Amino acid sequence: MTFSLVNWVLAPLAALVLVPLLVHLFARSRPPRYAFSSLEFLRRVMRQTLRVKRPRDWIVWLLRTLLAASLIALFLRPISRSTGSASPFERRNVVVVIDRSASMAALSGGRSRFATACAEASELLADLGRRDAANVIWMDAAPDAVFPELGPNVPFLLGHVRSASVSHEAADIEQALQMAVALLRDAPGSREIDVVSDFQATAWRNFRLPDLEGAALVAVPAAGDPAANTALTDLALTPADPLPGEPVLVSCSVWNYGDLPVRPSLFLSAGETRQSRELFLPPWSRTTAQFELSFPAAGNAAITAECSEDDFAADNARHAVAHVRPHLRAGVVGTRTPTADVWERALRALGLFRIENHAALDTLEGDWDALLLTDWNGEPSDRLRQFARQGTVVVCAPSALDRLAPSPPLRLVVAAPDDPLFTLFAQGAYGDPARGFFNAALALPALPADAIPLLSYGPDRPALVRLGRDPLYLWNLDLDPANTDWPQQAAFLPLFGELFLGLRGRMSGNSDRLPGIPIPLDVPPGTPIELHAIAGMDGSAQPLPAAPGAPVRLLPNAPGIFEWRSPENERQGLVAVNLFPGESDLRPLTDAEVRDHISSTLVSGRRARDLREGVEWWPWLLALALAWALLEGLALWIWEGRR
């Protein structure tokens, strides 16, 4: 805080504060006359009068001195400004950064945080003069400024702020502040960045300010009281891409961000299916509600979950798109061997795969659910690892597996009984997965450190090995009917199904598409499309203009499910867009946290404007002078006026 005097040329008047002291020292009042008969009575009167009058005189002198000081300060007109503010004759450059992320839509007392933020921003802009320059930056997923540079057209900025609306996006705080610093970098005069935000803790607590290059930063909170909120934060499908008629588990995560227990109702809709759940959530807790669905035919199906309404509507619904596939895709790569023939018969018996035969790995295109290599040479392949990381089950049989010489019969044992592959067999209902004999097996070299033997012939001869955490397997099991009876065992087909289908029951899919983030569409470049919103907040989305040959992209502005069609009205695809889960926790930073991590200047918009323009002290000084005058008059009336 800095202080200055508007009428500093009148500073010599401060010497007048000595006038009451001079009056007190040199003024002589005429002593009263007394009738007395001896000096003894006069001495008594003088002693009594001096004992009482001397402290009274000092009090009157002090009151008169304070009165004189207040009147002198009144004429000097002191004002106070925030540290770093411009002088009255210096140009002010102000950038107001307004948070319009999704959390700003929360209601408090019937008014949204964003409406409060716009009112505070209007106060910040209202006092700027013609020589000052300003700009407004909207802080969302892609921050943008109203003007390309600082400008004096403050009335236009005020109109823009008053007509703005909140977004459903997460805020890129760092980019917004860097943009503000760039706007102020070469501006002459004082430079100030005013951040108007709810300072949501999940977004700001771990944020570190960039270099402000000497600009002052003022924090203007717009959150008000902490708002309780019940939020849908996740919607996941297991399996991620179901088949027609396959059971699909829909998991909905619901949070209670509040101090009181709540009993929300949860509704799920998928096509003609409607389901509901009644939930109970203690304070600051999460629960997961599950629904089971199935889809009769292949195609894209929209799924929407909704919970009871509250003061923050943006996270009361969540959306997903189920890509129902007609079949799974399996590829058998390499030369034909007895093991490959058994693999194909087992895959057909499962009834879910369409099998394709390929001579080499290089001929594979597109996405695959299963790949079986019959003549793997043992060399590591980045492409195999890439397929496995994408969820493809990759089984590699060494090329020498079908050229083994007979040996004494070998028996299998389960080397990792706690592995999820054997969960189905834990109760014994599906038989023993290790039952059967083999006449030959490869002696494998040393395995990588991350290899996990699942089946083995003994301590030093693994039969089925998972290489790492991804579904990449080494197959040391010769399935030639002349060398083994394992494929004829009852547990063989269930184990084979668990190997290729068990992962589907553990892989969930959910939408990570966010409002404000462009989405590439799977259509040829330059293809005209028509957008339709079939669910969501307000259905706002638009195709982005693209250069010739560039992919077509969609820019969603709100959560929802968006469909695009060809000009012939044929559906091209669906996409689900959801609110960023971090926006649902509406708790703001405390004032102490804002001062420690963001700005030591934490004020309202009106107070920030007053500190920047200067707070006039004259009304308080005038009231103080009147108070001293009244106190002096009252004191004199009490002590002398009654005589």
Preceding omega of 239 cis (within 30 degrees of 0): yes
What per-residue confidence (pLDDT) applies to 318?
93
Domain 328-505: assigned CATH number: 3.40.50.880
Architecture of domain 229-325 in CATH? Sandwich (2.60)
Given strand 273-278, what is the order of strands in its sheet?
273-278, 265-270, 299-307, 317-324
pLDDT along the chain (643 residues), means of 10: 54 63 58 56 56 59 70 64 55 93 88 91 86 93 93 92 92 94 91 92 90 90 82 91 91 93 94 92 94 91 90 90 91 89 92 89 85 82 85 87 72 91 87 88 81 88 89 90 89 92 77 82 73 65 59 82 77 85 91 86 60 60 73 71 52
Contact at 8 Å (CB) between 559 and 536? yes
Report which of 414, 587, 599 is spatially closest to residue 495, judged by C-alpha positions.
414
What per-residue confidence (pLDDT) applies to 10?
56
Which residue type, as a one-letter code, is found at position 572? Q
Per the structure block, which two tokens stand in for 32? Answer: 């009263």
Q: Tell me how far CA of residue 493 lies from CA of 224, 291, 401, 453, in angstroms.
A: 62, 29, 21, 20
Alpha-carbon span 528 to 566, nearest angstrom = 7
Sequence spans of domains, the chain? 2-77+618-639, 92-226+587-616, 229-325, 328-505, 519-577
User: pTM of the prediction?
Assistant: 0.74
What per-residue confidence (pLDDT) applies to 42?
56
- H helices within 409-567, ranges in order? 492-501
What per-residue confidence (pLDDT) applies to 429?
83
Same fold, 92-226+587-616 and 328-505: yes
Alpha-carbon span 214 to 169, nearest angstrom = 30
Which residue type, as a one-letter code, is found at position 70? S
Q: Domain 92-226+587-616 adopts which CATH fold?
A: Rossmann fold (3.40.50)
3-state secondary structure 284-328: CEEEEEEEEECCCCCEEEEEEEEECCCCCHHHCEEEEEEEECCCE
Contact at 8 Å (CB) between 371 and 392? yes
What per-residue confidence (pLDDT) applies to 51?
45
